[in-house]
Structure 1
Amino acid sequence: MIKSFWNDPVIILYILIGVLVIDKLWSIYLIMREIVVVYHVHEVPEVLRPYLSGDLFNAMRTYKLHKSWFTIVNMLWMVVICGCLELYFGFYAYLWELANMIAWLRWMKHEVVVSIIFACIFNLYLLIKSVPGLLYEKYCIVSLVKRQPVIWYFRILNLLLDAILSFLIFSVVVVTIVFLGLALGNFAFLGLFVLALLATSIIILLLPYLIDPVLGKRVPLENQALKLELEQLTARVGFPMRQVHIIRVRDPTTGSNAFFYGSCCLKRIVIFDTLLLNRGFRSGFELPPEDVGKGLRDSQVVAVVAHELGHWKHGHFYKGLAMFTTQLLLTLLLIGLCFPHGPIYEAVGFEPGLQPIIVGYLIIFGYVLLPYFTLSNVCMLTVTRHFEYEADRFAFRLGYAAALRQALLKLYADNLSFPITDDCYSIWHHTHPPMLRRLAQLEWLERNHRL
């Protein structure tokens, strides 16, 4: 019976539609749980009251609810309704036929050229489909972050540059996938795996040298008292202080943050200047009024760095890289299993024997492997949250639990992150544990330590 299901295009079509609907309805259910939790919170949690005013909390709550309802409506339209119609009426087969019609010259009939034309039409369709949602999100959902107005021609220029860069990157990806498919056939997934590992290695090697120009400008730490504390901390755990960098971020609305990445001589701890009190300026006069007082005191910055050192000490970079590689290999193996199966293409409207490479990857990635991606994402998020708890425990063992608690409270208030979340929603969406749970763990560690 399983074999008949696997070989029947009609049954495969309805399975794909059913999987899509069930997956997105589950996502909507999780968002509804989050909305219910937010609806029932009318006051600032007691631990946050010294850092967060009632008016700002209410604004954050309203924004959270508005954004959540918008996400539900947008998901129902963009993914569920349009996705089911696209599958049922053979939209991908129609676009492929249209791409072949546009490729009217003989040299354009090569699958690589037709695939690029198909990708351009498909991206244009996605853009048109998403315009109403983008306009509503931009002009109807009031942002909590005040941004400086951008001159209209700079905005148009940025959009054009982004579009050109996206097209070039996407074209390279399409050409690579199609050429590998033509050259290696059913074993193209192995070539993709090798290329992905190579690209990951290059990114790891280049990232330490690219992060400064991308995020902002590296600046010296002028606060000598903080510098001395950081030197003592890094010496205590054996991390080179020269690899702790302060970045003056280009966008002043960038959230307060610090992170660890890299390995061996390429490891770094990056501290955004927005994490420092008043961005590290000696006088608040150099900042807009709304930014004065934001950031952490010296002891709290050191506690955050102690947390990041926990990621380094426990080898989370290597573990995360191994997890990513395993997930990538499993994904490509599943693609290798599904890619040559003709009834999948027939299910979405193609004639028997017609199996365009780029369309195959879109269908398999977007629909066939949807349950696998959902479950693997939950597993990866569970691991990353465990990493955060482990890094918090490392900071506790160094004696920074109290300062880290205060830092978390201040950061959530400064970054305008709504502090209340549903546990089930958090499991499926958040890379970090909820703030209140992290606070509870640190308090539990301190209480048991005293006992």
Structure 2
Amino acid sequence: MGSLYQDPMASVPMIIMDETIGLRLVPDEISLSDPVMLRHVLCSSIVVHNLFHVILCCRQLRKCHRVQEPPRQMRNVMSPAAFQAAKNDEMHAVERQLMGYVFDAIFSCMELYFGVFHILWDRTMALYGNVGEIVWRNLAYMALFATYMVFRTLPLVFYEKLTLDNRYNVDPEKAPPLVGVICALAFVIVFLQVLLIPLTAIFLYIEIYGGYYFVFWIWGFLFAVSMLALIFFSLFGLPCLGSSSRLPEGSLRNQLLVVLEDYNFPSNRVTLMHTFHIANATAFVWGYGCCKRLVILDNLIHNRAMPVAELLPEEINMGLSDIQVAAFVAHQLSHWRYYHLLKGFILVHVSLIIYMALFGTCYHVHALYEAAGFPHNYYPIIVGYWLVYKYVMPPYLTIANWIIFYYIRHSEYTADNDAWRRGYGPALREALLKLFADHHVFPFDDHWYLMWYRTRPSCLQRIRNLQRLDLGTRLSRIELI
């Protein structure tokens, strides 16, 4: 048994004392401070968390199996063939998600019980144990850790390519083959090394000099970046998406001027963004005071406001009519009128700062590292980020995501209701239906699955809500959740 600290200039690698809990199953005491007991609790938490999401995925798959035709509201814009294709895509994605949770639970438990992360640390020390600088050892460990995490995805890749693609008739010309995916993963390994080396160095610096709750410095950095992004977008729009221009004279401008006057929004702060290829046709509203800005992507407008001769074949007749664009913009301005973006920004950062406080507390619990198979007080600093994120924080993230997703979905209904009260309900309903016709997706969602996997209500739910407003009724409280 060798000494823990040796001459870093020695030619032989360091020998680490093997004081791990190994494969012990019986804890010394029934307490979370006991690493064996903590390991059982963490693995149970991962299994329960993943089982919960497996159940949600099963509910969505059952929903897919039960419906055999498009909803009544969408039968004129969605053929049976298009419905079946959307259904296959949805079932493929959900079953892949389901199996991802299954494989993740298996690997997560194996990693704790068999000390996989400690084995990677041992290999790192065998190669770099004679390097005296702890930062370099952590960098080397992260390079090996990132490679392992890529290999961790291989079972799901094989399952998708050998089983799912055949079951759901995936077009081979639209999906990369198995060999292509494996080659791409090799590139990902190289890319991760280039990306993680500077990030690891930054995180180590923050931890060393940031104090006990160093994670608050990370939150402060994220808060500052997001604030700067909002200010930049409010002042300059979205130059990263393409070139912008003033809205030209014509019917669309006249329709929008009525909407802008209705919402008391300045017409000189409206720009048309000529995008590169972007699937999501939408408009954005930012800012308050003198920084108001409305950006309309050109693929929201019929034929991208361009001559037909300049369009690609798949772009012809896509987009909304002038009246529908005005109704869609009214919906977006309702978000702005109710401060939904600001409220969502605050909600996300409140959730994030609570997350950071819990993260920083758990990060310093030595029993967590011992539960992962490391000797007492001897482990790579950087591994704590993964251990806390993967094994401790999932219950909090499950609750926080539900709250945030609920708020976003509720804000969509609020904006729809406000636009309806102002007289844009019929045109908004037609706009939603046209956007659905342009980009077919599976229209049905299991209610429980939607609560954790959809940030917005489905197009079908929004159309039904607008129809009920026309009839003088409302969606039930359960449907609004």
* TM-score bracket for the superposition, by shorter chain length: 0.7 to 0.9
Over aligned residues, Cα RMSD in angstroms?
Answer: 3.2
Say if 1:320 and 1:147 are closer, same or farther in 2 by CA, change over 3 A: farther
266-275 or 79-88: bigger deviation: 266-275
Distance 1:135 1:295 in 2: 38
Distance 1:93 1:223 in 2: 66
The residue number in structure 1 matching 2:16 is none
Matched position secondary structure for 1:419: coil
Distance 2:106 2:447 in 1: 28
The residue number in structure 2 matching 1:260 is 285
Name stretches of at least 5 consecutive residues in structure 1 with no aligned partner.
none
Distance 2:133 2:30 in 1: 34
Distance 1:164 1:215 in 2: 28
Alignment TM-score, normalising by the size of structure 1: 0.87
Q: Does 1:89 align with 2:141?
A: no
Q: Which amino acid aligns with 2:98?
A: I
Say if 1:366 and 1:244 are closer, same or farther in 2 by CA, change over 3 A: farther
Q: Does 1:116 align with 2:139?
A: yes
Say if 1:445 and 1:209 are closer, same or farther in 2 by CA, change over 3 A: same
Q: Which amino acid aligns with 1:438?
A: R
The residue number in structure 2 matching 1:338 is 362
Say if 1:24 and 1:51 are closer, same or farther in 2 by CA, change over 3 A: same
Match 2:432 to one of 405, 408, 429: 408
Distance 2:445 2:281 in 1: 20
Alignment TM-score, normalising by the size of structure 2: 0.82
The residue number in structure 2 matching 1:235 is 261
Distance 1:293 1:163 in 2: 42
* Contact 1:144–1:416 (CA under 8 A) maintained in structure 2: no
Say if 1:133 and 1:408 are closer, same or farther in 2 by CA, change over 3 A: same
Name stretches of at least 5 consecutive residues in structure 2 with no aligned partner.
1-26, 474-481
The number of aligned residues is 439
The residue number in structure 2 matching 1:10 is 36
Percent of paired sites with the same residue: 29
What's the offset of the Cα at 1:206? 3.4
* Contact 1:33–1:422 (CA under 8 A) maintained in structure 2: yes
Q: Does 1:429 align with 2:453?
A: yes
Distance 2:173 2:276 in 1: 13
The residue number in structure 1 matching 2:48 is 22
Distance 2:243 2:188 in 1: 22
Q: How does 1:102-251 map to 2 (within 5 A)?
A: 102-104=127-129, 106=131, 109-131=132-154, 133-134=156-157, 167=193, 169-207=195-233, 212-222=238-248, 224-251=250-277
What's the offset of the Cα at 1:100? 3.1
* Contact 2:124–2:137 (CA under 8 A) maintained in structure 1: yes
Distance 1:214 1:166 in 2: 24
Say if 1:16 and 1:132 are closer, same or farther in 2 by CA, change over 3 A: closer
Radius of gyration: which is bigger?
2
Q: Which amino acid aligns with 1:384?
A: I
CA shift digits 1:360-384 (9 cap, x unpaired): 1211111111101111111110111
24-33 or 287-296: bigger deviation: 287-296
Q: How does 1:433-448 map to 2 (within 5 A)?
A: 433-448=457-472
* Contact 2:88–2:168 (CA under 8 A) maintained in structure 1: no
What's the offset of the Cα at 1:128? 2.6
Q: How does 1:297-312 map to 2 (within 5 A)?
A: 297-312=321-336
What's the offset of the Cα at 1:209? 7.1
Q: Which amino acid aligns with 1:70?
A: R
* Contact 1:111–1:178 (CA under 8 A) maintained in structure 2: no
Matched position secondary structure for 2:360: helix
* Contact 1:420–1:434 (CA under 8 A) maintained in structure 2: yes
Q: Does 1:54 align with 2:77?
A: no
Q: Which amino acid aligns with 1:18?
A: S
Matched position secondary structure for 1:186: coil
What's the offset of the Cα at 1:148? 9.7
* Contact 1:222–1:280 (CA under 8 A) maintained in structure 2: no
Say if 1:361 and 1:406 are closer, same or farther in 2 by CA, change over 3 A: same
Distance 1:261 1:147 in 2: 40
Say if 1:354 and 1:264 are closer, same or farther in 2 by CA, change over 3 A: farther
What's the offset of the Cα at 1:64? 1.4
Matched position secondary structure for 2:295: strand
Q: Which amino acid aligns with 2:152?
A: K
Say if 1:207 and 1:350 are closer, same or farther in 2 by CA, change over 3 A: farther
The residue number in structure 2 matching 1:278 is 303
- Greater share of residues in helix: 1
